[in-house]
Amino acid sequence: MPQVIRSIEINAPPAAVWQWLATQQALRRWISPNLTIDLRVGGSYRFVGPDDQTWISGNVLELEPEKSLILSWLEEGSGWVNPARFVITLVPTATGTHVTLIHDGFEGIGRSDWAETVQDYERGADIHRIPRSPGRSCERWICRAIATLCSGFWPTLRVGLSSICLRNAVP
């Protein structure tokens, strides 16, 4: 099964990373400010993608706070018959948290050119990287690390999340 996978080690406990990554407020912060989500198993969500044209929608398939969040993922108006999945996992490590983001299920979206969709997501996942800067506080490092990890899936994320870090005066 083709997957687009990106992961990073963050020097912070899963509880802190979860607050910056997978709460309602955090999801609005880094996925899209127009995200509406009922963050419970079976709940629905919807937001306009970074191209300001494609709507993404789905349901919360699994939710285990501080461990994992799995969403169905449907690009509306793109010929997708069935959704793919978006998976966030957090695993505690000796030095913090190993965070993994996965997009999978493309072969089941109902398009004959699904392999091109995988390539599009792969290209997006390699666009931006933000290096860790020494001397940053834990919260700022979490914010920047998540921006690094996630910006590949949403190319406009790097700028947006970095300015949120600054706007919220994270030292």
CATH number of the domain that residue 108 is part of:
3.30.530.20
- Read off the pTM: 0.77
Q: Residue 14, Cβ neighbours under 10 Å: how many?
A: 20
The predicted structure's pLDDT at residue 137: 44
The predicted structure's pLDDT at residue 6: 84
Instruction: Tell whether the model's pLDDT for residue 139 goes beyond 60.
Output: no
- 152 falls within a domain: yes
144 band by pLDDT with thresholds 50, 70 and 90: low
Percent pLDDT > 90 in the chain is 40
- 103 falls within a domain: yes
Q: Domain of residue 106: give its range.
A: 3-166
What DSSP assignment string belongs to 17-83?
HHHHHTSHHHHHHHT-TT-EE--STT-EEEEE-TTSS-EEEEEEEEEETTTEEEEEEEETTTT-SS-
| Cβ proximity of 39 and 24 under 8 Å | yes
Q: Residue 165, Cβ neighbours under 10 Å: how many?
A: 22
Q: Could you give the number of structural domains in the chain?
A: 1
Beta-sheet strands, E only, within 94-168: 96-104
- 155 falls within a domain: yes
- 171 falls within a domain: no
- 31 falls within a domain: yes
- 106 falls within a domain: yes
